[in-house]
Each structure stands twice: as C-alpha cells, then as structure tokens.
Structure 1
Amino acid sequence: MDFVYLNQHILDNLFYILISILIFFILYDHVETLKSYKRILLTTSMSLPILLCMKFPIYIDEYCVHDLRQIPLLLGILYGGWPVGTALFIILLVARFAIYGFNFMTLIVYSVIFIVTALFSTKFKTLNRKHKLFSAALLSLFLGILSTNIAVFISDFFRVTEAYIFYFIIIPPFIMFSAVYITEILRDAISIKSKVIKLEKMEVVSQLAASISHEVRNPLTVVKGFIELLKDPKLPGDVRERYFQFVTTELKSAETIISNYLAFAKPATEKIEDILIDHEIRSVIDMIKPLASMNSVEISEAIVPATTRGNTQYFKQCLLNLIKNGIEAIPNGGELRIVTLVNKDVITLKISDNGVGMTKEQINRFGEPYYSSKEKGTGLGSMVVVRTIQSMNGTLNIKSSINEGTTITVTLPAIH
C-alpha cells in the first residue's frame, strides 16, 4: 500500500491552498482599499489554487489522476456565499474544460458540489469556530462520497481504487479542517487587532479629555475667584491691578495647556519652511536662561549650522519642552549640554543633563497621553515633542540612568 505515504503532488496542492489563504489575509489586512472589495479579493485568492491544483495534479497510478481543487472551491463558497461561489464555479469549469476538454460528468459533479455547499454556506456563517471546523470536514467527506457515487453512476469507466478512497475521500476532510482552522485563526487575529486599535484610540481620547479638563479647570477656578474679588467696589487700585495680573497669568496658563493639546492633536502642516536649527536653539536658550539660573543649572552648547524643514513654531515649542524638562530634572544644580552634529543628510541633536535620570518605564512611556514623571505634569509637553519630531520625519531616542542623567538624541533630515 505505497499510496498510504503522502507524495509530493498532494503536498504541492496543499501548499497552493494554504499560501492562497495567507495571501488573502495579508492583502486584506494591509491594503486598506481592498477591504471594500472583499468578495473580489476572496474570489481571486481562491481561484489561484484551483488553477494551480488542476495544472499540477496528483498522480497516484495510471488509473488515478486527480487534484484538490474542491478545497478552495468549498472555502470560497462557505465564506463568500453565492456570489463568490458562482464566480469560482465558472472559473473552475472554464479552466477544467480548457485544460482537459469538456466532460459531462465533471459538469454534473461540480454543479452538485456548488449547489449543496452554497445552500449550507448561510448556516455555516452562523456557527461558532468548533462547529465550523467539524461541519466543514463532514461536508467535505459527504461531498466526496456523493460525487464518487455520481461519477460511478454516470460513467462506466470510472474506477474507485484504494488510492482514490484514501486521497480523495479520506484526506480532504482533514485538509478542509486545517484550512478552516487557519482561516478562523487569521480572521480572529484581524478582528482582535481592529478592536485593540479602536480601544487604544478611545483610551487616548479619554485620557486627553481627562487631562485637559483637570488642568484647565485649575487656572479657571483661580480666575473665577479673583473675578469675584474684583466685584468689590472698595478694592484699592494697586490690589485690583495685582488681581488682574493674577487673572492674566492663569489665563495664559490655560492657553498654554490648550495650545499643547492642539499641537499634539493637529500639528500645523500648512506652514512648512526652512528651519535654521542653530538659530532656533540659541533663541530657546536665551528664552529659558532665567529658569536655568533659578535652578542653578549651567547651559553649555556646541552647535553647528544646520537646516531642516518643518513648522518653526512647533519645532521651537518642541525644543523648549525638551530643554525645560532637562533643567527641571536637575533640582540641585548641574549642567545641561546641547550638541548638534551634521553627517551628510542627517542632523543629530543631543540634549544631556546630569540630573535625576529616568527609569525604563518612564523612558518607554515618554510621550504617552496623561503620563508624566512630574507630580503635576500632564504629559502634553512630551506628546508635543514626539508628534512634532514624527511630523518632521525625525526620530527620538532616550538613554538614561537613575541619578546619573539623561541624554535625548533627536535626528532630523538635513537640507542643503
């Protein structure tokens, strides 16, 4: 019984089927436009193994030459219903008659297979995975036995050998079981991936909303309190002026929070221009020197001229956030060093401090909504940094050790 051992031809047919299933799901998952043409994609994917199985059939002996074209046909009908099934049925018959010539028995056998499977496809879609697996295997077995009996009844020359029974009645249900299992696993993976993406988006929106609400409410509460005090007609002029200054300061604080959120949510892309990196860095250093002095932090720099492209306003805000974070990470005084390098088409910006450093969790969560290493931080500043650098086709890398300091390396494309 040499036929009991799987030969190369049946393994080839199995390969055609499995690789076509993978091709379908890879294209469906990664090419967004194809999701609107799912049935066309399924028809194309399943027609490929049908044609390959017929072109390279399974040779068992001189009386048994067959293939596994019925497996992709069944898969297409079960998952695509009547429309996909009809298209595959026509493709199969046209290819069969073109390769081997017209055969009445083939027409009858595959017509029965198509009708029975299409009628069952509606029920199949309502089943859970376990029931789909066993029902698909039983359907393949039933159709194998039914088509064999039809062939024997119609043709006097059709021979049912042991090899035929093993390869085309016993083996197909196992292949069908495996193909449906792989299909269900890949469908679930894509479905879970889609749900996870939606949940992540909802979580980001929820966290941002909570962050904005919490942070804006604080300055507005202060403003509300001072406005109530300003209603006093007997309030001295100098006190009234001081209260107005408090109101202005708190409103500016609220405006900064909202601006940071907008920079993260929708960075400006309509105003792209050449950015002189050295000029902007020195401008930010001059702006932030008072804060550095208050924290006993010395800022040193080794900056070379370099030019990139992006939105100047948001790039300056990005620099400001990075340098300010570095200064605040040195509570007991120290040094903040800023270095730029240009290597061909890449600008490297390094901002190093000898401050408190960051843990691995803090590094991994840098830029995450509503996460900050600061007690009263919102994480909006780091989100602006990450989003701005991404919008400029740059990268950001953080190396840090606790109580030793942090080095943030930003790379940006250079223009000449």
Structure 2
Amino acid sequence: MTFVFINHNVLDNLFYILVSILMFFVLFDNVKKFKNHKNLLLTVSMSLPIVLCMKFPIYIDQYCVHDLRQIPLFIGTLYGGWAAGAALLIISLSTRFAIYGFNSLTLVVYLVLYLATALFSIKFNRMNKKSKLMTSALLIFVLELLTTEIALKMSDYFKVTEAYIFYFIMIPPVAMFFLVYLIEVLMDTIHIRSNIVKIEKMDVVSQLAASISHEVRNPLTVVKGFIELLKTPDLSQNDKERYIQYALKELRTAESIISDYLAFAKPAIEKVEPILIDKEIKNLIEVIKPFANMNAVKVTNQLASGMVLVNTNYFRQCILNLMKNAIEAMENGGELKVLSLTDKNHAIIKISDNGIGMSKEQINRYGEPYYSSKEKGTGLGSMVVLKTVQTMNGKLDIESVPSDGTTIMITLPLYNSDPVYVKEQNDSRVKLKTGYYI
C-alpha cells in the first residue's frame, strides 16, 4: 500500500499546475495587452504544466507511469472553450508523440477528454461558483472512469492498480475542486477591484459635479442680472453693449469650468504615453479650484517641468484624489500646496495640507480597503491611489503630524525612450525510461 503516502512526483505535477494558474492571473492583472487576449494567455499558461507534467511524470511502479496533464487541459478547455481546448489538445498530443512516440490509445483517450469537456464548457461558464466547483470535480471523475475503461479495452498492457485508482481517479477530482475554487476567487478579486476603481472615479466625479455646478451658478447669476438690466427702458446703446460684454465674459468663464470638468470625466483609455507633469497638474488644479473654493481652501503651486510615461487618465485620477482628500482634511479651510521637482532619474510630486493630519497607525494602514480616517469614508480612494502609483512604477511616501497637516510624496521614473531587450532561455527535456505511459 505504497500509495498511502503522497508520491513526490504527484506534488511536483500539482505544483506546476498551481504556479501556471498564478502566473496567468499575475500577467492578466498587470500586463495591459493581455486584457484583450485572455484566451491566448490562458492557452500559453496551461500549456506549460502540460509539457512539464509529461517531462516529469509520476512513477508508481513499472506498470504504472502517468501524469496529471489532463487537469490543465480540463481547466483550459472549461474556461477557454473550444479554441483554447483545441490548442491545448494539439500541444499535449504533439509533445507526447515527440518525446515518447505515437500511441493510438493516447490519441483516443485525449480526444474523448477534449470533446466531452468542450461540449460542457459553454454550460460551465454560465454557472455560479458553487455549481462550477461540484460539476468540474464530478466531470473529471466521470471522464477518468470512462478513459480508464477505454484503456482497458484497447490495451492488454494497461493495468488498474490500487495506486492508479488513488492517484489518477481519486486525486484529480479533489485537485480540480480546489484549483477551480482558486481560479474563481482570483477572478472575483480582479472583478471587484475593477468595480472599486469605477465606483471611486464616479464618486469623485459626482462630488466635483456638485462643486462645479455651484461654481457655474455664480457666472450664470451675473448673466441673469445683466439680461434683466437690458430690459430697462431708455437704456443707452453704450450700456447695452457694456452689459452684453459682461454677460459674454461670465458665459466664457462658465464654459471654461465645464470644459475642464468634461476633460477629466471622459472615459479612460488604457494606454501609456509621455506627459509633462507640470502641464497636467496645472490643469488639475483648475478642475479642483471650485471644490477648494467651496471649502475655503487656497491652492498654491510650484511646478518644475518633467516628463513621465503613464496612463494619462489614471494619473489625473490619482492626483485629483489626493488633492480632494487634502482639501477635505482641512475642515476649517487652509492652504493646499502642490509642488513638483525632478532629479536625474525621477520626478517628485508633493501634495501638502495643513489639516487634521494622520497618526502612525493611519499612515501604516493607508491603502487598506474599507479603512478610512473619515467618518463616512470607505478607504477605497486611498487604495486606488496606491494601486495606481504602483502601476506607474512609482513610490508613495507619507509624512504627517496629527493636527498639523500631511504631505504625500509620489516618486515616478522620468521618461526614458531607450528600448529594453529580453533574453530568452532554452529548456531541456527528460525522456521516460520505463513503464507503460498514456
């Protein structure tokens, strides 16, 4: 009963699959170009454990040598559909035949696995998490029994031992259950964070809309007053022209405020481009001024020119969030200072206020979701800021003294247009030496 203890080759196979799943989510979440090529990334990620499982198979005894390559084939086909599954099937069979030679039993077994899984994939992707967990484990269990029966009928050399039942009929459904659970949790996490960013952006936009509507109302009130004056009987032509010029000037002011707001609120395009930080920050200061005026906050700036490579809309969202938070921290009014400077390799942006400040605990917990120093805050804004800075390959530092104010410093790499080259490395292959292998 040697199979009572988990064979280290089984753990190796499961490790390859787990690492490949994690690699998929790391690349999908952090590399923008993979967002629109999810199935391609899934195919590449699942092909790696398929190859590795065959190169380092599970040796039980001389009659029982197999691997767990069917698990990444199942995962890729269930989540990627027919196309991804077909690509993984071709990779699986090609690698198997290239390393160990052609085998008709292998061809039949894996065609059955692929076709059954691909047919089920459409229904699978419409299920909730609980149903996916149960049906994926049940499906692989049924298919393992079916392919075992096919192998017994097609080959006189294939034998079903206790070790085979334990490792290749009992373990795959359990492994599939936990791997699907991990995939679903990671997918939910990415989806939730994406929604948080959208919600936070809409929250900022709605607050700015309220403050800008207040700011626009002032020039419109002036315009209304001059229009009323134009109704005055016996008004001279010079006065009429003067009143009209005043009204037009106030309308241009209102138009400028609305234009700034719309420039910020337009949908983000997920691409990076070089921007001048002083120019962008000046525009953002104009956007935030109505909100600052409503809160009796004076905004001052001292901006040095510097170019950084960022997603423009994310950069705007980040800086605007920080300025908005700084204004809200000054409950009785104050001064918001915005400073930018550059050194040889970095651009530094400092946003300072003389508000309520932050304790050491608040600084340490900055960026945690659902933790906020504000009474009605969710902490999602600071989380979005921190994530955005990290995405821009930057660093965020906080200096704060309670009741004295806070300074947040963002350090970003200066734009460098030199290309980066990546060196590829080759891998080696290990041949199977003994045993019957499907």
Give the TM interval when normalised to the shorter protein: 0.5 to 0.7
Report what 1:11 is aligned to: 11
Report what 2:356 is aligned to: 358
TM-superposition CA deviations, 1:197-226 (whole Å, max 9, x none): 233333333333332222211331133124
Distance in 2 between residues matched to 1:188 and 1:75, nearest whole Å = 17
Inter-CA distance 411–230: structure 2 relative to 1 (3 Å threshold): farther
User: 5 Å matches for 1:161-310?
Assistant: 161-233=161-233, 254=254, 257=257, 261=261, 308-309=305-306
Report what 1:141 is aligned to: 141
Inter-CA distance 90–222: structure 2 relative to 1 (3 Å threshold): same
Moved more, 166-175 or 36-45: 36-45
Q: CA RMSD in A?
A: 4.9
Assess if the C-alpha contact under 8 Å between 1:357 and 1:400 holds in 2. no
Q: Flag structure 2 segments of 5+ consecutive residues without an equivalent.
A: 267-272, 280-301, 308-318, 367-373, 375-391, 415-438
> Which amino acid in 2 is paired with 1:79?
Y
Distance in 2 between residues matched to 1:224 and 1:110, nearest whole Å = 78
Inter-CA distance 88–272: structure 2 relative to 1 (3 Å threshold): closer
Assess if the C-alpha contact under 8 Å between 1:51 and 1:92 holds in 2. yes
Secondary structure in 2 aligned to 1:68? coil
**How many residues end up aligned between the 2 structures?**
344
Secondary structure in 1 aligned to 2:60? strand
TM-score, reference length from structure 1: 0.66
Distance in 2 between residues matched to 1:111 and 1:256, nearest whole Å = 65
TM-superposition CA deviations, 1:162-209 (whole Å, max 9, x none): 111111111110011111111111222222222222333333333333
Asked whether 1:70 is paired with 2:70, we answer yes
Cα distance, 1:109 vs. partner? 1.4
Assess if the C-alpha contact under 8 Å between 2:276 and 2:305 holds in 1. no
Secondary structure in 2 aligned to 1:59? strand
Inter-CA distance 214–111: structure 2 relative to 1 (3 Å threshold): same
Report what 1:35 is aligned to: 35
Assess if the C-alpha contact under 8 Å between 1:133 and 1:180 holds in 2. yes
Inter-CA distance 307–167: structure 2 relative to 1 (3 Å threshold): closer
Report what 1:381 is aligned to: none
> Which amino acid in 2 is paired with 1:29?
D
TM-score, reference length from structure 2: 0.63
Cα distance, 1:119 vs. partner? 1.8
> Which amino acid in 2 is paired with 1:55?
K
Report what 1:83 is aligned to: 83
Assess if the C-alpha contact under 8 Å between 1:340 and 1:350 holds in 2. yes
User: 5 Å matches for 1:104-143?
Assistant: 104-143=104-143
TM-superposition CA deviations, 1:232-264 (whole Å, max 9, x none): 246799x99998998699668757755864786
Assess if the C-alpha contact under 8 Å between 1:400 and 1:407 holds in 2. no
> Which amino acid in 2 is paired with 1:399?
S
Inter-CA distance 357–205: structure 2 relative to 1 (3 Å threshold): closer
Assess if the C-alpha contact under 8 Å between 1:74 and 1:117 holds in 2. yes
Inter-CA distance 128–224: structure 2 relative to 1 (3 Å threshold): same
Moved more, 109-118 or 136-145: 109-118
Moved more, 140-149 or 405-414: 405-414
Inter-CA distance 223–22: structure 2 relative to 1 (3 Å threshold): same
Q: Flag structure 1 segments of 5+ consecutive residues without an equivalent.
A: 276-302, 311-317, 366-372, 374-390
Moved more, 39-48 or 166-175: 39-48
Report what 2:2 is aligned to: 2
Report what 1:399 is aligned to: 400
Inter-CA distance 251–36: structure 2 relative to 1 (3 Å threshold): closer
Assess if the C-alpha contact under 8 Å between 2:304 and 2:340 holds in 1. no
Inter-CA distance 413–232: structure 2 relative to 1 (3 Å threshold): farther
Report what 2:156 is aligned to: 156
Distance in 2 between residues matched to 1:247 and 1:73, nearest whole Å = 70
Query: Identity across aligned pairs (percent)?
Result: 57
Secondary structure in 2 aligned to 1:358? coil
> Which amino acid in 1 is paired with 2:93?
L
Cα distance, 1:405 vs. partner? 6.2
Assess if the C-alpha contact under 8 Å between 1:152 and 1:158 holds in 2. yes
Assess if the C-alpha contact under 8 Å between 2:358 and 2:400 holds in 1. no
Assess if the C-alpha contact under 8 Å between 2:304 and 2:342 holds in 1. no
Assess if the C-alpha contact under 8 Å between 2:278 and 2:340 holds in 1. no
Moved more, 2-11 or 205-214: 205-214
Distance in 1 between residues matched to 2:187 and 2:338, nearest whole Å = 50
Distance in 2 between residues matched to 1:412 and 1:107, nearest whole Å = 54
Distance in 1 between residues matched to 2:170 and 2:347, nearest whole Å = 65
> Which amino acid in 2 is paired with 1:88?
L
Report what 1:54 is aligned to: 54
Distance in 2 between residues matched to 1:338 and 1:75, nearest whole Å = 50
Distance in 2 between residues matched to 1:202 and 1:274, nearest whole Å = 25
Secondary structure in 1 aligned to 2:46? helix
TM-superposition CA deviations, 1:282-303 (whole Å, max 9, x none): xxxxxxxxxxxxxxxxxxxxx9
Distance in 2 between residues matched to 1:349 and 1:194, nearest whole Å = 26
Distance in 2 between residues matched to 1:45 and 1:90, nearest whole Å = 15
Inter-CA distance 265–202: structure 2 relative to 1 (3 Å threshold): closer
Secondary structure in 2 aligned to 1:232? coil
Inter-CA distance 405–74: structure 2 relative to 1 (3 Å threshold): closer
Inter-CA distance 170–340: structure 2 relative to 1 (3 Å threshold): closer
Highest RCO, 1 vs 2 (Cα 8 Å, sep ≥ 6): 2
Distance in 2 between residues matched to 1:332 and 1:172, nearest whole Å = 63
